[in-house]
Structure 1
Amino acid sequence: MGADVWELGDAYEAYVGRWSRQVAVAFVRWLSAPAKARWLDAGCGTGALSSAIFGTAGPAAVVGVDPSLGFLREGPAVKVNGDAAALPLRDGSVDVVVSGLALNFVPRPEEAIAEFVRVVAPGGLVASYVWDYDAGMRMMRFFWDAAIAVVPGAAGHDEGPRFPICREPALRAAWSAPGLTGVATRAVEIPTVFRDFDDFWQPFLGGQGAAPAYLATLTAAEQADIRERLRSSLPTAPDGTIALTASAWAVKGRKPAGSAG
């Protein structure tokens, strides 16, 4: 299986970054974290979630950690190159740990969650959100359905079955396993309206993310077949716009107040 590609921030922004910003704001509001808290944004990417924290939550500070240097852009957050499963932070050094659209790309999510619990202070909040790849992230669902119809082997790259952590029961269980309390989940749905077919299709040619990286491995003829299947299957309005929705699953819980480390 080819690796997902996460190197070019601009290509990511065109692909899903523009939509993830809307989810990030709804997610931060749902957390209702106190002002002046110290935040960690694990897997911060191009900064959509960090920006939502600064714009919505009134933090004292935000540290963003990401393994891709190409995603660590300038901004108000302190950016650190690092791994969510081996965070370069001290035990109990932040009040809130969040991770947006990244946990499923960690090879062993349970190790990242253990790190989130380690670095958050007792009584602190640990939370995350991931795309609902099974059905809710409709732009990707349309893509994979078309790709599998053209190249049956594409099923092995489909993010729905590949990422079991991106389902509500799995997220709830993952947050309960390390002893977090008050675990709660919710779905966050946003509109994703494309101005025309090119606005939908061109970001898939950018090579950033699982679907675009897979598409880049195909022949020109296969890519063309997928494109035309999408063109005929997408719900296109008379003015050319394509109105879809994108859903993410969010989860939150607290580190018990008496916990150490």
Structure 2
Amino acid sequence: MFTNAYAYDQFMGRWSRLLAPCLAQFAEIPNSGGKILDAGCGVGALAFAIAEFRPLCHVVGIDTSKEYVSYAESRNNYSDRVHFEIGDVQNLAFPDAAFDNSLSMLVLNFIPNAPRALSEMKRVTKPGGQVVAAVWDYGGVMEMLRVFWDAAVAVDSTASRLDERHMPLCRAGELSELCKSAALDNIHENSHWKSR
């Protein structure tokens, strides 16, 4: 994982910015607004997409990285309704039912205890609210990274052990199974978004 927020944004941010509006629309956040949690906000792509897509929403983005939070704040054109703070998705510092919806984009597979993180997202979401998450399919649909890793392994077969296709939660059905284990219901999975 990148420690430099600017470097991350230059390398992967462009892909995150393409995915974020798709996830915001998939979440079916009501036009009436509400308070939304962006759990593991990184450099803010999802929070900004929600703010653009639903102008009545207030978004709180949290991330464990002080640098990423600072970077997101420095790019925040929605400061009247988007706020970023340092926080741990595994131990959310919010009361029960504090948010109308909780979303997480491209982070659950990096969290040491993803089941706990999802349970925390559920806890802070109001009854009837949505808990929505997305990760890349590193084994297939995220073509840019797939091309990179296929080339790396072709050049040096020992790179296979580092290939991101082995990451948790990154294959079809795995995120749905995690949601079921957190006792979420009405689970819908969409694995058809393409990276181009």
Structure-1-length-normalised TM-score: 0.68
- The residue that corresponds to 2:6 in the other structure is 10
Segments of structure 2 that go 5 or more residues without pairing to the other structure are none
Q: Is the 8 A contact 2:141 2:194 kept in 1?
A: no
Once superposed, what is the RMSD of the aligned Cα atoms? 1.4
Deviations 1:4-37 (A, max 9, x none): x332121112211011111110111122111221
SS of the residue 2:43 aligns to? coil
- The residue that corresponds to 2:151 in the other structure is 146
Q: Does 1:178 align with 2:182?
A: yes
Q: Does 1:67 align with 2:71?
A: no
SS of the residue 1:11 aligns to? helix
CA–CA separation in structure 1 for the residues paired with 2:34 and 2:163: 38
Larger CA Rg, structure 1 vs 2: 1
CA–CA separation in structure 2 for the residues paired with 1:85 and 1:132: 23
Runs of 4 or more, structure 1, over 4 Å off, are none
Deviations 1:126-154 (A, max 9, x none): 00111110111111111111111222221
- The residue that corresponds to 2:163 in the other structure is 158
Which structure is higher in RCO with an 8 Å CA cutoff and minimum separation 6?
Answer: 1
Segments of structure 1 that go 5 or more residues without pairing to the other structure are 192-244, 246-261
SS of the residue 1:58 aligns to? coil
Q: Does 1:47 align with 2:44?
A: yes
Offset at residue 190 of structure 1 (A): 4.0
Deviations 1:26-52 (A, max 9, x none): 111122111221100001011100000
15-24 or 48-57: bigger deviation:
15-24
Q: Is the 8 A contact 2:100 2:126 kept in 1?
A: yes
Point out the structure with the larger strand share. 1
CA–CA separation in structure 2 for the residues paired with 1:60 and 1:132: 29
Paired residue for 2:105, among 94, 100, 107?
100
Matches within 5 A, 1:91-240: 91-163=96-168, 165-191=169-195
Q: For residues 188 and 57 of structure 1, do their structure 2 counterparts lie closer, same or farther at Cα, with a shift above 3 Å needed? A: farther
Calculate percent identity across the aligned residue pairs: 35
CA–CA separation in structure 2 for the residues paired with 1:181 and 1:17: 31
CA–CA separation in structure 1 for the residues paired with 2:163 and 2:97: 37
Q: Is the 8 A contact 1:65 1:83 kept in 2?
A: yes
Deviations 1:138-185 (A, max 9, x none): 11111111111222221111111122x112211111112222121101
Q: Which amino acid aligns with 1:167?
A: R
- The residue that corresponds to 2:26 in the other structure is 30
Q: Which amino acid aligns with 1:65?
A: I
